[in-house]
Amino acid sequence: MPSVLITGASRGIGHATARRFADAGWDLLLVSRSEAALQSLASELSSTGRKVHYRAIDLSDPEAIATGAEELLSLGLRPSVLINNAGAAWTGELLEMPLDRWQWLLQLNLTSVFQICAAVVPVMRPSGGLVINVGSHAARNAFPGWGAYCTTKAALASFTRCLAEEERKHGVRACTLTLGAVDSPLWDSPTVQSDFDRRAMLPVEQAAAALLHLAQQPATQVIEDLTLMPATGAF
């Protein structure tokens, strides 16, 4: 059976994606901060006959990532697909953002992706594989009050393109799922202040379906960037 490693798996897009992949017959390696949430999800998905391994890793802590990823990979599943979905946002004037919040956001949205890839991609190389980084249309646009988020997502898009070029010789592909607004727990975060109409946003299940679609592409091709937007357009 193919296996997939998903970060941010305990809620929102990651939670829906884990269920979608399990329903499609994939085994799972799951990462999030919450041990209890992961245990509950693993119990649910294991009942479908899937193998499910998990580790609680705080991706905002750069010192925890390498060890946590190594422990997860030692449990016996080798992922053929890696989905870097975990992330966060912060709203406010760009130059008024506290330095510690800037560094926190860069760690979650960019540096942790680099760290997870550094741990997982070498394991994928012998058999090939696919890295899918969940991005945002904010990578291509400037939104007042969202400058730090836009910056991290633009950097993530560039990182993904560079990773794809370097790993091609190893048979590992890399691509981006670029999303418009998704009705996810991100909007409930204390670091986000927004009055957008969440009823007009994409449901998390549509993002999960797009991730499975990307993962199911044959090894002879790659969709380098799939953009999914609400029909109402950008918020």
pLDDT tens digits for range 141-168: 999 999 999 999 999 999 999 999 999 9
Structural domain includes residue 158: yes
The arithmetic mean of pLDDT across residues 12-33, rounded, is 97
Structural domain includes residue 96: yes
Distance CA 216, CA 188 (A): 32
pLDDT digits 0-9 by tens, 174-196: 999 999 989 988 778 888 788 78
CATH number at residue 86: 3.40.50.720
pTM: 0.95
Structural domain includes residue 149: yes
Structural domain includes residue 9: yes
Structural domain includes residue 234: no
Structural domain includes residue 84: yes
Is the pLDDT assigned to residue 16 strictly greater than 90? yes
Structural domain includes residue 235: no
149 noted as active-site residue: yes
- Which residue, among 69, 39, 49, 45, has the nearest Cα to 57 in the 3D structure? 69
pLDDT digits 0-9 by tens, 200-218: 899 999 999 999 999 999 9
- Which residue, among 172, 100, 169, has the nearest Cα to 133 in the 3D structure? 172
pLDDT for the residue numbered 235: 64
pLDDT for the residue numbered 1: 83
Structural domain includes residue 93: yes
Is the pLDDT assigned to residue 119 strictly greater than 80? yes
Report the largest interatomic distance among the alpha carbons of the chain, rounded to a whole angstrom.
Answer: 50
Active-site position among 26, 54, 90, 149: 149
Residues 6+ apart with CB under 8 A from 26: 1, 2, 3, 4, 50, 215
Domain count, the chain: 1
Percent of the chain predicted with pLDDT > 90:
89
Owning domain of residue 177: 3-228
pLDDT for the residue numbered 220: 96
Task: Provide the pLDDT confidence category of residue 39 given band limits of 50, 70 and 90.
Answer: very high
pLDDT for the residue numbered 185: 81
